[in-house]
Structure formats: structure tokens, C-alpha cells
């Protein structure tokens, strides 16, 4: 049974595109490599053939994992989201209670996480700590270096 994950339209398209790329282009490329290595003669001592077969196995594993992710993927309509509390795809502005620094993060599925773009996974310690919190609440989050407190300043789509 696959785990259900929620995605933006952009994130779901990225997954579909990657799966399409792997199934069409990468499979064809590895099949060609296997055929070329097979044409070189004795397969029992053919390192190229062994490497190509191993690459094929890894590719099929990756395709299988992506198909499993896709089977549990659900699209979220951001326009119908409740902004009274932090949920998947909420944009949350937080203030570090120790340093006073403010940050804004969008809570996303693990596969869409990109810290440089301000997207953190709901499965990360900070993401888990923010989920379900409302504006004005304090989120006390356990991180590797101890505990950190964030005040929820704003929640939007």
C-alpha cells in the first residue's frame, strides 16, 4: 500500500515528467548499452555488459519507486485551503523566539522540498512542528542541537 502525499500542480507535473523521462529515454538508452555490450562477445567476462545490466536494475527500481509515489499522490487545490492553521501547502511566516529572525516557508510534500525556494517538507522536524498551529501560537520544535521556539506570525496560501 502506498503512502498518500499531497502535491501542488507544479510538483505533480515534475513527478510525471521525471517518470516519463525514465520510462522513455533512459530505458531506451540502457537497452542500447546492453545491446552494444552483448555484441562485444563473451558475456561471462564482459564488464560493460554487467555494468549496463546493473544500471538497468537500478533504473527499474527508480521507476518502480516513482510509480508507487504517483499512486499515492493527491493534488491539492490551494484556492480551497483553510488558512486558519498551518497545513500542507500553507505559506507560514515564523519568528525565531531566540534570535528574533523571521522566515517564511511553504509546507510541502517531501519530494517537493527545496530550502533555497523556501519549501520545507511536512516530514521535517520544523514542518512537523508547524503543522496544525494557528497564528499567535508558539511551536516548540526539537532539532538536533536542542529545542527551538517559533511564533507563528502569519499563514497564507
How much is the pLDDT for 80? Answer: 67
Q: Is the pLDDT of residue 16 over 90?
A: yes
Signed CA dihedral, 69, 155, 106, 131: sign only:
negative
Q: How far is 50 from 32, CA to CA, in rounded Å?
A: 14
For the record, the C-alpha cell of 122 comes out as 511536512
Q: Is the pLDDT of residue 129 over 80?
A: yes
The single residue listed with the C-alpha cell 562485444 is 40
Topology at the third CATH level for domain 5-75: Helix Hairpins (1.10.287)
Please, where in the chain does CATH 3.10.50.30 lie?
A: 78-156
Q: How far is 109 from 89, CA to CA, in rounded Å?
A: 8
What's 78-156's CATH class? alpha beta
Q: How far is 59 from 145, CA to CA, in rounded Å?
A: 37
How much is the pLDDT for 92? Answer: 93
pLDDT tens-place string over residues 90-123: 899 999 998 999 999 999 888 888 889 999 998 8
Half-sphere exposure of 50 (CA within 13 A, CB side): 6
Tell me which DSSP letter residue 95 carries: E
Q: Is the pLDDT of residue 4 over 90?
A: no
Q: How far is 65 from 67, CA to CA, in rounded Å?
A: 5
How much is the pLDDT for 2? Answer: 60
- Residue 39 burial by CB count (10 A; 0-12/13-18/19+): exposed, middle or buried? exposed
Q: Is the pLDDT of residue 41 over 80?
A: no
For the record, the C-alpha cell of 61 comes out as 527500481
Model confidence, pTM: 0.65
**Residues constituting the chain:** 157
Please, where in the chain does CATH 1.10.287.180 lie?
A: 5-75
Amino acid at each position: 500500500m502506498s503512502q498518500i502525499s499531497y502535491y501542488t500542480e507544479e510538483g505533480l507535473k515534475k513527478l510525471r515528467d521525471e517518470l516519463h523521462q525514465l520510462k522513455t529515454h533512459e530505458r531506451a538508452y540502457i537497452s542500447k548499452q546492453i545491446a552494444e555490450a552483448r555484441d562485444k562477445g563473451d558475456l561471462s567476462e564482459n564488464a560493460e555488459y554487467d555494468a549496463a545490466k546493473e544500471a538497468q536494475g537500478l533504473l527499474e527500481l527508480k521507476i518502480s519507486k516513482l510509480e508507487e509515489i504517483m499512486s499515492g499522490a493527491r493534488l491539492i487545490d490551494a484556492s480551497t485551503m483553510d488558512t486558519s492553521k498551518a497545513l500542507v501547502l500553507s505559506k507560514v511566516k515564523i519568528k525565531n523566539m531566540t534570535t528574533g529572525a523571521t522566515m517564511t516557508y511553504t509546507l510541502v510534500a517531501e519530494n517537493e522540498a527545496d530550502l533555497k525556494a523556501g519549501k520545507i517538507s511536512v516530514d521535517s522536524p520544523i514542518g512537523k512542528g508547524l503543522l496544525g498551529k494557528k497564528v499567535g501560537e508558539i511551536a516548540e520544535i526539537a532539532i538536533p542541537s536542542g529545542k527551538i521556539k517559533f511564533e507563528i506570525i502569519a499563514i497564507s496560501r
